[in-house]
Each structure stands twice: as structure tokens, then as C-alpha cells.
Amino acid sequence: NSSESHNCAKSILTSDRLQIVVTLSEFFNETWEAANCANCLKNNSEGLSNSTVEFLDLFNKSLTCFEHNLQGQTVYLSPNNYTEVCKNCNETYKMLNDLYNNLQRMNRQGGESGHSAHLCIDVEDAMNITRKLWSRAFNCSVPCSDTVPVIAVSSFILFLPIVFYLSSFLHSKQKKRILILPKRIQSNASLVNIQEKYS
């Protein structure tokens, strides 16, 4: 009845003792906000953003690559030997990881969705799954290109004190020590003898 002062929708939503509709609505709204779901959508929320679609496409390609290279290997290889997966899927994984890092960088600046803070939970979970498979399950690790220079510089720094002390020893003049015996005071008994002589 429109003549009544209170809102009809509010009356329907809060009609039961538990207010289940209101509770569920608040729960879903809080979940949507906590998961940053809006960051996966375009500004007007008409669909997934282009970057999200591109990421999910690369994610699916990575999982397909993992599955394709695992077929027939589990029988012949030990559980820790996944060299085929690491070798054949390295490029796809690297592209996915680079895209994720770019999305994070873009998202801090406002991004495609117009929202800042974290990426949406779907993208973050997908990347977490991929990284866990890559590093823990398949034990694929990319060797660090900086290893040789770091070892060389560290060795040089550790070797410097040895060079310093060795050069200091070789270039210093070795002086012979001359021992000078100190004059000692004669004992009281000898002084008494001297005095007796002269008296």
C-alpha cells in the first residue's frame, strides 16, 4: 500500500525473524568487495576486462602445456623429474608470469577496471596455482643470470684482506730488535758492604 509511510521492499526483506535475505545480501556484497571482483571487469561491469581475458587465456594454455607434457611421463620418470615440462612450458609460463606482473603494476595505477588495490581473486588464485605447480610440483627453477658476477665479486672482497696483509708483510722493513738490559738497583746487603769498606 503506497499510502503507508514505510518502504514496501524493506517490509518484505525484514519480515522474518532471521532476516535471511538481508543477511545473504550483506554476505555476498562483502565477499564481492573482499575478493576485488570488480577489478576483473570493465568500468561499466559489462563483462571481463581485456587484460583478464588475456590472462585467463594464457593460464589455460599453461595448464594445457603442463598436461600435454605430463602424458606418458609419469610411468617412465621419477616423480621429481619433469624436465620435459620445464623445457617445453618455460616460454608459456614466463609469458603468464610477465603478464601477471604487468597487471599488478597497472592495477596499482588504477588499471582497466578503474579500481586500485589488489587484482581480483580469480587472477590471483590462478597465478598462485600456476606458480605452485611450476616450483613445487614440477620443481622447475630458472637459473639466476646474476650468479656468476655475484660469486666473482664476493670472492674478490673476501680475498682483499689476505692481499692487504701479505703486501703489508712483504713491503715492511723488518727491524732487528736490540735488547737493552735495564740497570738494576743493588740489594741492601751489598750497599751495607760498600759502606763498611769506606768506613
Diameter of the chain measured on Cα atoms: 146
Q: Across the strands, what pairs with 41?
A: 48
The grid coordinates of residue 101 equal 606482473
Mutual orientation of helices 50-70 and 121-132 as an angle, nearest 10°? 20
Q: What is the pLDDT of residues 2-30, one digit of tens each?
A: 555 557 767 776 777 778 888 888 999 99
Q: Is the Cα dihedral 141, 144, 148, 154 positive or negative?
A: negative
**For 50-59, what is each residue's pLDDT tens digit?**
999 999 999 9
pTM for this predicted structure: 0.59
The chain-wide mean pLDDT, for the chain, equals 79
pLDDT recorded at residue 8: 72
| All structural domains of the chain with their residue ranges | 41-137
Q: Is-contact 58 92, C-beta < 8 A?
A: yes
Confidence at residue 170, expressed as pLDDT on a 0 to 100 scale? 77
- Model confidence at 149, in pLDDT bands (50, 70, 90)? confident
